[in-house]
Amino acid sequence: MIDAAELTDNDFLRQFELKIEDELATIEYSLQDRKIFLTKLIIPESINTEGFETDFLTLVFENISERNISVVPTSPEIAKFIRKNRKYKKMLPVGIRI
């Protein structure tokens, strides 16, 4: 389901968007200097199947990684994702521990 969807970075609304079956999953963010603060994860119930959140976050983290920006997770779900996926810990700024 997520393979056919395209991740969009909506600069105006400051959120990553993934449209699936007329539903919109989003991650709100704030960009400051070379850090992106991931503040809120919103996934509609109708598309929140097992593994969807992980796939969505993986797409977002790969997008951020390509831009060489540090990630500061302020959402508990996103912090939990980083704990489970240690390869993304390197994207945290110096001094931030999860």
Per-residue pLDDT of the chain (98 residues; tens, 9 = 90+): 576 578 999 999 999 999 988 899 999 999 998 999 999 999 999 888 888 999 999 999 999 999 999 999 999 999 999 999 999 999 999 888 88
Q: Domain segments of the chain: what residues?
A: 7-91
Angle between helices 76-84 and 52-66 (to 10 degrees): 80
Q: What is the pLDDT of residue 1?
A: 55
Q: What are the φ/ψ torsions at residue 84 (nearest 5 degrees)?
A: -80, -30
The CATH code of domain 7-91 reads 3.40.630.30
Token pair of 74 as six digits: 């302020």
pLDDT of residue 8: 95
What is the CA 53 to chain-centroid distance, rounded? 9
